[in-house]
Structures are given as C-alpha cells and as structure tokens.
Amino acid sequence: MANVASLHPNTSHAPHRSPPKAHALSGEMDVKHRSHVHATMEQALDKGMKAAQAHFTGGISPIALAAAYSDWALHLSSAPGKQLQLLEKAGQKIWRFSTYAARCAQNPNTSETCITPLPQDKRFKDESWQQWPFNMMSQGFLLSQQWWQNATTGVSGVTRQHEDVVTFVTRQILDVFSPSNFALTNPEVLAKTAREGGMNLIRGWQNFIEDAARANNGEKPVGLEAFKVGENLATTPGKVVYRNHLIELIQYAPTTDKVRPEPILIVPAWIMKYYILDLSAENSFVRYLTAQGFTVFMISWRNPDSDDRDLDMDDYLSCGVMDAIDAVDTITGGRQVHAIGYCLGGTLLSIAAAAMARDNDPRLQSMTLLAAQVDFTQAGELTLFINDSQLAYLDDMMWDKGYLDSKQMAGAFQLLRSNDLIWSRVVHDYLMGGRSEMNDLMAWNADATRMPYKMHSQYLRQLFLNNDLAEGRFLAGGQPVAITDIRAPVFMVGTERDHVAPWQSVYKFNLLSDTDVTFVLTSGGHNAGIVSEPGHPHRHYRMRVKHKDAPYHDPEQWADTAKTVDGSWWPALVAWLEDRSSEPVPPPPMGTKDEKYAPLCDAPGTYVFQE
C-alpha cells in the first residue's frame, strides 16, 4: 500500500506520479509500504504492549531508567571511598544547617544563608523566604538537593549517560517536594491567602479544573484564542507558490522598490510550525528581511498523520529542501540562494548543502544556521532520552499510531525546564490564583506538530545516537555526505541559554567545516534568542569570523576574545548577507505564469492550519 499520494506541485493530494527530476535528490516520494504491515503477530504483541505502557510512563522507557539507576547503585555499592565521602558531606551539611538554625533562633529574620541557590533558580528569591521558618525550609531543601547532586555524580565506573539520567531524574523528583510547591510551606501563597481570605485558592481550583477539562477535551490553553494565525500571527503578505504532499512554499511580497537579486530561502524545523519566524508584526524575522530589500521564501511543513508513517529523511530532503530550491531557482531566474535553516531545519539544510556540494550543484550563495547542530555528541539534556533501549521503546510507541504525538514532544521539552515551565505555573495559576499571560511566542509553542514514525526514528538514531552526519556515514540520495564539502560561506547563531542546542554544540560546526564561518553568540534561549528583533530590551551578542585557513579556537577561548555588542544580531546578519549579494534590481514576479509555480493562495497557506 502506498503511504502517500504521489506529489503534484499544485495540489496536496494528486493521483499520478510526476517524472523524476534530474538532480540526485529527486523531488518525488517513492512508493513505500507501511512498516506495520510486515510485523509478525509476536512482534505486534510486543509493540502493542509497549505502546499501551507508554501512556502511563510519559514515553519514558522504564527499562532504560532502571538500567541507569542500577548502573549507578551497583557502582556506588562497591565504592566505599565514595560512600565515606558522602557520609562526610552529609555530616558537614548537617553541621552547617544546625549552625544556621542556631543563628536563626537568635535572629529569626536574619538575611544570612548557608547555601545560595543557582542563578537560574528563582523559587526562593522573594524576601519572605528570609523569614523564619521559611528560611529553614528553603535552606534545608537546597542542602538536600546539593547532597543528592554529590551522590549521583562522580561515581567511578558509571557511564556518562547513565550518570546524566540519574542526576536529571533525581533532580526532577526532588523538585516535586520543593517547599515552594505547597501552600502551607510557601510564604508568598500564605500571605496572599490571608489578604484575600482564601479566594486565590478558589480561583486556583477553578483554573485547575478548566485546564484539566481543556486538556482532556484536546482544547487549546486559556488565552490562546487571542492569537490567530493569519490575523495577528503569520501576517506578512505573500503567496503560496508551490505545494506538494510535504511542503507549501511561501513567497513573501516585496516591500521595497528594489531587492537584492539573490533570494532568501528559510528552512524551519519540521517539529514546529514555521511562523516562529513570522510572529507578530513587530518581531517577525521575515518582515524584517523583506524590509531590508530581500526576496524571502519560507517552507511550511505539512503536519503528518498516520498515513505518512513511512516518510523518511530522504523525503524531507528531496521533497522539502530540494523541491523548494528548484522552485526558488525558477521563480527568481536562476539566482543563487541565501539559505537559512533554524534548529533541525538547519541540520537538514546542512545535509542538503553537503549533498549539493558533493554533486557539484552551485546554487547556494551562502548558508545561515540558527541554533542548528551537525555534531550531536553534546546535544544538551535531550540526549538523556537517546539510547538504544529508549529508542526501541519510542519506536514501539510510534508504531501504534504511525507518528510521534505532539504532546509527547512538548512534555519532554517541559521536563528540561520543569521549574520554569511546570512548577512555576502550578504555583502562579493554582496556588496564587493568577493566570499566566499568553504572548505570541507562547501561543506558537502551544501549536505543536507531529512527526512521522520512520523519519523520527531515523533522525534520532542516525543523528543523535550514532552521530552519522559528523562522522561521514549519513546518506543523502543513497550516497554519503560530508560537511567538509560545503564551500559556501556560513553565518551561525548560537544562544547563551539554549537547552535544546547548546551553543558549544552548535559551535562544533567549526571542527567539521572547510569554509569561512561567522559565529554569533546571542543572549536568550533557543527560541527567544532567535526571535530577537532590533529594539528588544536587554539583548546583546558576540561575533567573530573564522576564515577557512585559520586555526581552531575552542568555545571558551572564542567567548573570552569575542567582543560583546549591545542590541539585536539581526542587523549583523543583514550586513553579512548584503556583502555577499549583488546590486539591487526590480523584484521578481510572485510565482510564475507557468502552472507549476503559479500562486495557489495567500500566505500563510493551508498546511499551517493542520492540527
């Protein structure tokens, strides 16, 4: 059985296959068979049981978790020196806490502390936590948390990933019992309850019931109704000029009399809706680029369903990036392209660029990578969920539906920042009785997407687990690709507080490349650091160029020597692109008169509305 209809440029479903294209990464999907058809009865029983089990474990493999804790516990049990060290640390912490308690008894409202929270820990920053007995509670909790950090790290013989998993999960468990999470041990909640006569708890209960009902009914979060795609999100004018089963290609209308001849093609990640780069009018990356005199194209990915279970990475390359480049090339009259890739879209773009270089395809003028990795050996805390046991469990979970549910991915990202995204909201919405104000970035974040079974399994195994791209084993169009083949100049952006693609991991592109790389490190996180329009308060960045023949500097040395500049990095990118562009000319037409790339509908298109 075919998994999808053959592609046609002007329809989302078409019954006939177009002729294959000339370049190696063909723009047509091969007919594939549904993988679940070939499972034996015994395999289906195993997969079905694990898929059912995953509903209760949040997609986390209990076997992988047990293996990590067993590795830690067994090595700790055979390490008397480490045990003695932990006993000594426990004694030291008890003494510190006892001394602190004595000082508090003499002066209950002392501002002294015996342990200072980490800079990112905002739970106990209010002055009321300095008053007895809440100072005792917070300090005791932080000391316990520090001891468990000592206990789960530095145990000789434990694998690095198992140590990271045990440390992470133990921290998540401890965070549940933070005194800030309970009404009777949180002085801010108690004060508000006294002031309002308990009305905050009544409102909080109502908030909880409303949120639970919405989640159970599959409804969007409260406040999202104020943000609508096409009305106050993704409003930059444009046309969909190409559509196949996997993408819609949007061409944005020019806003200047003349434009640079070389167009910009943006490749967003397929795990998110594209309009993070076209949010509100005042912080739209697309709108900013068009205002600077560029012709901008954007890929909008289809939100896959169970019929798309066998779409793979080659499909996303050929029918995504390469089909889009073909369209841009035709519409703009054969001009070279400035390609921009965000997150995994940047990884996909890097693969496409390496394949094009391998095949002597010269159509890329430059490449810009935003928070994108090509080496995944230090890919942040997401790698906690990446090992053979966990991926086998994830495969079985996806096998049942044919895709990874968006709720599972959203839950994983929330766990990585549980204090900010889970517990702070519990306190604010359910104990304080408030409502977290929705903004455009939060509204986009709630508009999640699914991922096809085969493609998601491929990229987790080949990129994250095996690191095939960095080590020259990744195949595109049936042939291996190498980042070292890329000769187009590269502009790279990492963000200082990125928990998805740590900037040190993004920086590793310098180890693999053989071209000029301009690296920018900007303030903010994975999303907010990229959506960093001029005029955004408290923004800064560092930038430095590494020429292809220059010696390598490690990330720490780079950060120490790169000069800090106040403001947004967007103007720096525009200046970089202008230096690599020709003199302005009249804008190209919106699409072509030919049926293949004729305008189909207005931006933001139709795929962005798929749920």
pLDDT digits (tens, 9 = 90+) for 429-484: 999 999 988 899 989 988 888 889 999 999 899 999 999 999 999 999 999 999 99
> Rounded distance, CA 20 to CA 476, Å?
16
Give me the domain span that covers residue 74: 57-180
> Rounded distance, CA 227 to CA 249, Å?
23
Query: 400 and 479 in one domain?
Result: yes
> Rounded distance, CA 325 to CA 583, Å?
22
How many residues are listed for the chain in this entry? Answer: 611
| Residue ending a domain, choose from 180, 195, 229 | 180
Query: 135 and 254 in one domain?
Result: no
Query: 468 and 344 in one domain?
Result: yes
Predicted confidence at residue 386, as pLDDT, reads 83
In a domain, 38, yes or no: no
Number of structural domains found in the chain: 2
For 272, 328, 544, 600, the CA distances from 237, given in Å and listed in that order, are: 21, 17, 34, 14
For the ranges 20-29, 112-121, 233-242, 439-448, the maximum mean pLDDT occurs at: 233-242
In a domain, 257, yes or no: yes
User: What DSSP letter does each residue of 60-122 carry, written as one string?
Assistant: --HHHHHHHHHHHHHHHHT-HHHHHHHHHHHHHHHHHHHHHHHHHHH-TT----SS---TT--
Query: 259 and 175 in one domain?
Result: no
Question: Which residue's entry shows tokens 């909008």?
Answer: 300
> Rounded distance, CA 225 to CA 233, Å?
12
Task: Give the pLDDT mean for 356-363.
Answer: 97
pLDDT at residue 13 tops 70: no
DSSP run (H or E) holding 267? strand 264-267
In a domain, 83, yes or no: yes
> Rounded distance, CA 251 to CA 296, Å?
6
> Rounded distance, CA 251 to CA 365, Å?
19
* Active-site choice (114, 319, 343, 601): 343
| E-assigned strand segments in 320-373 | 337-342, 364-370
C-beta separation of 234 from 606 below 8 A = no
CB contact burial 223-252 (16+ within 10 A = b; e otherwise): eeeebebeeebbbbebbbbbbbbbbbbbbb
In a domain, 222, yes or no: no
C-beta separation of 230 from 584 below 8 A = no
Query: 351 and 468 in one domain?
Result: yes
Query: 269 and 156 in one domain?
Result: no
Query: 474 and 401 in one domain?
Result: yes
Predicted confidence at residue 512, as pLDDT, reads 94
Predicted confidence at residue 324, as pLDDT, reads 98
Query: 287 and 153 in one domain?
Result: no
Query: 345 and 243 in one domain?
Result: yes
Residue 361 CB burial class (10 angstroms; 0-12, 13-18, ≥19): middle
In a domain, 559, yes or no: no
Catalytic, 343? Answer yes
| Residue ending a domain, choose from 134, 153, 180 | 180
pLDDT at residue 26 tops 50: no
Query: 255 and 150 in one domain?
Result: no
> Rounded distance, CA 149 to CA 490, Å?
39
Query: 154 and 283 in one domain?
Result: no
Task: Using a pLDDT cut of 70, give the percent of the chain over it.
Answer: 91
Angle, in degrees to the nearest 10, between helices 41-57 and 388-401: 100
> Rounded distance, CA 175 to CA 389, Å?
26
Q: Count the alpha carbons within 13 Å of 71 in the hemisphere toward its beta carbon.
A: 22
> Rounded distance, CA 237 to CA 473, Å?
41
In a domain, 493, yes or no: yes
Task: Give me the residues paired with residue 522 across strands.
Answer: 495, 541
What pLDDT digit, counting tens, does each position of 403-442 carry?
Answer: 887 666 665 656 666 666 688 889 999 999 999 888 999 8
pTM: 0.88
